[in-house]
Amino acid sequence: MALGHAAGIALTLSGVSLPRTLLLAVLAPTLFLLFRRPWPHGALLVSVLAGCLAGSASERSESRDCRLHLPEVWEGEVVGRFLTRPIESSSLPFRIEGGAPNGCEAVVRALLPPGSHLPRAGTRIRMPVRWEGRDYPRPGLGEWSGRLRATGDWSVVGGGGVIGGALALRGGIQHRIAQLWGEDSAPMVEAIVLARREHLDPEVREAFALSGTAHLLAISGFHVGVVAGLLLGLLRLGRLGPRRCEAGAVAGCWLYVLGIGAPDAAVRAALLLTLLVGARLRGQPVVAAGALGTAFLLLLCIDPGWLSSIGFQLSFAGTAGLVFIRKPLSGAVDRAWRRITRMPPPRRRDDLGSRLVKGGTDGLGVGIAATLPTLPLLAWHFDRFSLLGIPLTLAVAPIVATAIPGVGASLLLSLLPGGLGGFLAGGTDVLLGGTRRLVVGSASLPGASLWVSRQELVVGMFAGLATHVLLGRIRPGRIRAPVRRTGASGVAATLLLLLPLFPRGGALEVHVVDVGQGDAVALRYPSGSWILIDTGPRSPWFDAGERRVVPYLRRHGVRTLEAVVLTHPHLDHIGGAPAVFSALGVRGVLDPSRAQGSRPYLEVMEAASEAGIWWWQGIEGRSFDRDGVRVEILHPDSATLADPVLTDPNDLSIVLLVQWGDAAVLLTGDAPVEVERRILDRLPRLAVLKVGHHGSRTSTSMELLERTDPRMAVIPVGDGNQFGHPHPLVSDRLARVEVPVYRSDRDGDVRFRIRRDGSVEARSAR
């Protein structure tokens, strides 16, 4: 029933239409007929339908988030508190408790100016601020919908209630951690004890992600289990009864979980622990699968949106592995070890050597069982498949488990005079420093992780399932051969249904990546080769190349780009180029090649030079032919490039005409109307037009639209951008020629599939 409820939520959140949702809800319970068990199909159907309703309600609730409806700019005084240690010139979470328009009380990002006195985390303050609503590529994230910038000095105010007291206590602990461990190790201590990772060095965080050990930095069942074990041991020292010790450990775990802000995985672990201990206290058998399903269902009833949380998914996947596959995996590891070493099975229960071997193989089986189910999720969300995740977790987890009680003891002893707390903190610093160096060194090894596209992941999983069924791995005594064949047919049919998700030959594809206020367009040839036109913006808090372009291309299986075209040296077009150059193979770069002294342009040139990438001049007449597709540069010409009067890089913007059979695509960069008029006579009827300059009124003239008569148009534009793009005049022109228009701020990523006859299909992320 828990899985059925989750399936209904997932169907709704993924945008499946209501008729298809109802059809899938009816068909889903019939899958259990393959296992010949008396599943309650009516209850499953009700669960799926209830999940659909819950998911729909969750979507409506998210759209009502008050942060998404704040004015674009406003000034005033707010009352609130930082949720972590503030740092100068760093945007960190700030909990507004009063003073915002429309009574909005929520967590946003706030910035203190350099040289200002920094408040302690959790302290309730009043400060004058300016709200800057900003363009962000995922407008549904309320916390990132804008930023508070302090415009004056802050002052401490009282009040705040129980929640405020808990936040102030946590802030005091963070302050003490910074004093004991310093700026080098304090961020890691805050991560593994308080679930605050804002201060972690990005390189360290990336190393933990690449090595498959990121879960050790996030508060999860592992950390809650360590805390529960410590509390249970301390309570037993007080000679309390077993039931009181267990109940006290559960209560202590809940205080800890709520005190650190109730992260998804920690709440799951505490709830699961409560269910297991509750069953023991009532004298009932402890059924781990039932407890896991109950916790899963209860949390989804509280907040259906948790299903889309990466932490929530990883937490339950790892726990499900421990519940369902730990024993068979531990047994298989033990048998394999004894077969390799030719060690006989234990003859006596007190055989120390056999017990040590058994403990080691059990530990390895537990590590594999907890990690294996999470690998597909990690590959899906992060496009990486770590080859070191299991062995490195087995090596690092005991060190972290030892460091957690060391941190707690150091904090307690630091309250006493004598410096014993600082001495013990130094010992835990050695453990954490060794862990950090081990993980960073392992992540830098060649082949530590592999890039995996979503297509490869889905095909691999279904191929494995089909092989499992076809080879008869399911015991014949439980499922008859006809049923196995039916299952194999179902898998094959599912693969056929999934084929539209994969890039197919025989079509030209244009992918407009949602990078906010900027451009990034990927062109896929019918044979599967790719070129990229522009790379999106970059700012101190957001790199479109790293956060949006590279992950998007990786998800579509891109390993090498035939070329990267940088239409002109404005930051919203070239900002993400260094990240693209470092992450993907690039055969060459084209740009107008007119000297620019701006720092971003120099950084792009340096990144290309370090990667050994060829640099070509993008000039009129240069063309590229592949698979019958011709990509021709229409602008700039040599006279324009040599004109010393031109100072606006938009006038030099590369304009590309892509032709395949009767189909044509025009990519205009930020070229103004004057450039459009120069190339007008060379333009055919268009299948797709990328509207120039994000919909600015200086581009996309009525003459261009009437001449090309595009079947579809797309505007790369940022949500709530300060320029007012697209301009109403441009929108009116597009409406007059009755062309369907896609916008990245409204539709997200947009993909066009174009055939030789000029027909075109469009699909958007939203």
Q: How far is CA 583 from the centre of its chain?
A: 17
Say yes or no: 443 and 464 in one domain.
no
- pLDDT for position 24: 64
Confirm whether 255 is domain-assigned. yes
Say yes or no: 228 and 88 in one domain.
no
What average pLDDT score do residues 117-127 get?
Answer: 87
Confirm whether 168 is domain-assigned. no
Question: pLDDT band at 576, cuts 50/70/90?
Answer: very high
Distance CA 441, CA 435 (A): 10
Confirm whether 549 is domain-assigned. yes
Residue 590: partners with Cβ closer than 8 Å, 6 or more residues away: 563, 564, 565, 566, 616, 617, 618, 622, 633, 654
Say yes or no: 320 and 391 in one domain.
yes
Say yes or no: 599 and 673 in one domain.
yes
Confirm whether 8 is domain-assigned. yes
pLDDT digits (tens, 9 = 90+) for 318-331: 888 888 888 888 88
For strands 530-533 and 563-565, give the pairing.
parallel
pLDDT digits (tens, 9 = 90+) for 124-177: 999 999 998 764 444 456 777 788 889 888 999 987 777 788 888 888 888 889
Tokens 């003490």 sit at which residue?
Answer: 176
pLDDT digits (tens, 9 = 90+) for 582-615: 989 999 999 988 766 678 888 899 999 888 898 8
- Which of residues 583 and 43 earns the better pLDDT score? 583
User: Domain ends where: 108, 140, 159?
Assistant: 159
Residues 189, 414 contacting (CB under 8 angstroms):
no
Q: How many domains does the chain have?
A: 5
Say yes or no: 381 and 515 in one domain.
no
Question: What is the signed CA dihedral for 27, 39, 57, 99, rounded to 10 degrees?
Answer: -140
Say yes or no: 437 and 568 in one domain.
no
Instruction: Report residue 158 as tokens.
Output: 């009282």
The residue range of the domain holding 754 is 508-764
- pLDDT for position 478: 46
- pLDDT for position 120: 85
Say yes or no: 612 and 663 in one domain.
yes
Say yes or no: 211 and 80 in one domain.
no
Phi, psi of 754 (to 5 degrees): -120, 135
Cα dihedral sign, 275-281-283-285: positive
pLDDT reading at 514 higher than 60: yes
Q: Which H or E run includes 451?
A: strand 449-451
- pLDDT for position 655: 95
User: Domain ends where: 140, 159, 178?
Assistant: 159
Confirm whether 223 is domain-assigned. yes
pTM confidence score: 0.68
Confirm whether 352 is domain-assigned. no
Tokens 């049919």 sit at which residue?
Answer: 493
Say yes or no: 434 and 494 in one domain.
no
Say yes or no: 617 and 484 in one domain.
no
Residues 155, 100 contacting (CB under 8 angstroms):
no
User: Domain ends where: 159, 184, 208?
Assistant: 159
- pLDDT for position 222: 75
| Nearest Cα to Cα of residue 82 among 117, 39, 49 | 117
Confirm whether 355 is domain-assigned. no
- pLDDT for position 346: 62
pLDDT reading at 530 higher than 80: yes
Say yes or no: 460 and 446 in one domain.
no
Tokens 């993008």 sit at which residue?
Answer: 618
Distance CA 126, CA 30 (A): 58
Say yes or no: 121 and 16 in one domain.
no
Mean pLDDT highest for which of 35-49, 347-361, 558-572?
A: 558-572
Confirm whether 195 is domain-assigned. no
